[in-house]
Structure 1
Amino acid sequence: MTGQRELAIVSLYPRDMNIYGDRGNVLALTRRAREHGYAPRVTEVNPGDALPEVVDIVIGGGGQDSGQGRVAKDLSARAGEIRALAGDGTPMLMVCGLYQLFGHRFITHTGDELVGIGVLDVETRGGGERMIGNIVLDSDEFGEIIGYENHSGNTTLGPGSRPLGRVIQGAGNNPEDGVEGARTGNVIGSYLHGSLLPKNPALSDFLVGEAARRRYGDFDPVAPVGETVMRARESAKRRPR
């Protein structure tokens, strides 16, 4: 890695928010960054840990309601730092549980309220229907996005966020709206596990590219999409829900 430009990646709450293989997103992101010629440095931040001085990308996953409860208080305490990073253009990807907590609030199916940090203009309520299976989206920016959803939260978007994509196959944010995920600035929230980034290098390239431009002023993508990735995408699309 001598002479390579570093990218500082924060893996947010991996101890509690790492369900359905969400840690694979960090592995895929670091590999993609290396393929583009950068030297990724990953710092795991769990409750009570300080954020590193330099943060180029923040990535987080999902967990059970109990895991969300454990991290919600800590997330609230560092809300100012995270909102400042988001406002400055730091790219972030939050999946499922942390997607919900990056919104305004999550009301569980038992009526408990977990207050979010409002980086994304979304609100979530636990529902009685579980939305499970392979999901395909159409995105104006990222093309076709493929993942796996497993959630009972019903998320609705306010005017401050736009959807990540339109649902082609699957449920998405809720059974009615026909869209999935949320985007505010360079912050993306999504219910797509699977893991998301191994099958969607365009999203990894967005995170790496925005981080590189923000820190170094430029980004020259050099890594092609491999045949294995394309086969994995096609296989997931063919599988029934």
Structure 2
Amino acid sequence: MMSPNTTQQPLTLTLGHLYPDQLNLYGDRGNILTLRRRCQLRGIELRVVGLGVGDALAPDEYDMLFIGGGQDKEQAPVADDLHEMKGIGLWAAIEDDMPVLAVCGGYQLLAHYYRPAEGPDMRGLGVFDAWTEHKGTKVPRCIGNVAISWNGQTLVGFENHGGRTYLGTAKPLGKVLKGNGNNAEDQTEGAIYRHAYGTYLHGSLLPKNPHFADHLIELALQRKYGDRAITENDLFNGNHTNKAAEIGATVLELQKTTVSPLLTPLEDSLEWEAHASMLERLGLYSEAATILRTHKS
């Protein structure tokens, strides 16, 4: 373990924000603000680089990637650019276990295809073994607050999508507790491939789900720094015990806690109150009570 007096370069992460001008519905940019703030409070610098249409994606230059949602008319040029300019780099990043968060339209474009209500299919990258079909303008959209189970906990957010996504072999992000999820039919929400996460949860997602935000940050730190990130984050927060042993905890033990084994916990009472309030609105009173009881203690 490093001595408390050891001087090290500060931890830094670089996030590539794909299509910040085209895909930014329902305050999805708030996800990036949350990641930046949660890093800052731990002495970690998060650099954000916008990648628009025409920009290449060099995977070695980034540690995390984010792509938000947009309207159908905005997704068409993005779909073309994903294949022509960013597809190879994005695939390389995902196969190298870079954490990626794709919301709504971004999620759809990382599956096989999106079939809009009008016009030709938009070809996706096929990262997720899934596809999306719009049932037509006469079919009600999937709109409203939504809660899902994830990793033994809950995620909350807001969804608004006309397309219905169906999973092939892709693993869902979670099971719908209340709301529509992927298609309002099979209780699945989102999709996972390696460390890439697709979801319909706007809200923004990460401000009301600090545990998921920390999960993405932790994946990025572990991938870039390994045990050095564990030790330096402890030193920054005045805790000089070696946390590396905690990483050896069983998966079951980790699922029973909302505290990351790597990142020092933050004062998240407001975030958890917002999370619990959403659960209460959806009638999930037991889950809301558990959240408040856990985080007050």
Class of the TM-score when normalised by the shorter of the 2 chains: over 0.9
Q: Is the 8 A contact 1:62 1:96 kept in 2?
A: yes
The aligned counterpart of 1:41 is 47
Segments of structure 1 that go 5 or more residues without pairing to the other structure are none
Q: Is the 8 A contact 1:35 1:223 kept in 2?
A: no
2:145 partner amino acid? N
- Structure 1 residue corresponding to 2:37, chosen from 8, 18, 31: 31
Deviations 1:127-146 (A, max 9, x none): 222011110001125x1000
Q: How many residues align?
A: 238
| Higher strand fraction (1 or 2) | 1
Of residues 14-23 and 124-133 in structure 1, the stretch that sits farther from structure 2 once superposed is 124-133
Q: Which secondary structure does the structure 2 equivalent of 1:162 belong to?
A: coil
Q: Which secondary structure does the structure 1 equivalent of 2:148 belong to?
A: strand
The aligned counterpart of 2:74 is 67
Q: Is the 8 A contact 1:201 1:225 kept in 2?
A: no
Cα RMSD of the aligned pairs, angstroms, is: 1.6
How far off is 1:194 after superposition? 0.4
Distance in structure 1 (CA, Å) of the matches to 2:37 and 2:128: 27
Q: Which secondary structure does the structure 1 equivalent of 2:21 belong to?
A: coil
Q: Which secondary structure does the structure 1 equivalent of 2:145 belong to?
A: strand
Segments of structure 2 that go 5 or more residues without pairing to the other structure are 1-7, 231-261, 284-297
Distance in structure 2 (CA, Å) of the matches to 1:180 and 1:55: 27
The aligned counterpart of 2:167 is 157
Q: Is the 8 A contact 2:142 2:159 kept in 1?
A: yes
Q: Which secondary structure does the structure 2 equivalent of 1:129 belong to?
A: coil
How far off is 1:49 after superposition? 1.8
2:77 partner amino acid? R
- Structure 1 residue corresponding to 2:146, chosen from 127, 135, 144: 135
- Structure 1 residue corresponding to 2:199, chosen from 190, 193, 200: 190
How far off is 1:12 after superposition? 0.8
Distance in structure 1 (CA, Å) of the matches to 2:18 and 2:185: 30
How far off is 1:202 after superposition? 1.4
Q: Whose relative contact order is higher, 1 or 2, with alpha carbons under 8 Å and at least 6 apart? A: 1
Identical amino acids, percent of aligned pairs? 41
The aligned counterpart of 1:18 is 24
- Which of the pair has more CA radius of gyration? 2
How far off is 1:111 after superposition? 4.7
| Higher helix fraction (1 or 2) | 2
Q: Is the 8 A contact 1:96 1:190 kept in 2?
A: yes
Q: Which secondary structure does the structure 2 equivalent of 1:163 belong to?
A: coil
Q: Which secondary structure does the structure 1 equivalent of 2:155 belong to?
A: strand
TM-score where L is the length of structure 1: 0.94
Q: Is the 8 A contact 1:131 1:171 kept in 2?
A: yes
Structure 1 residues 1-241: aligned runs within 5 Å? 3-51=9-57, 53-77=60-84, 78-127=86-135, 128-140=139-151, 143-159=153-169, 161-218=170-227, 219=230, 220-239=262-281
Q: Which secondary structure does the structure 1 equivalent of 2:54 belong to?
A: coil
Deviations 1:196-238 (A, max 9, x none): 0001111111111111111111343113351110111122223
How far off is 1:36 after superposition? 3.2
Deviations 1:46-70 (A, max 9, x none): 1012335411000111000011012
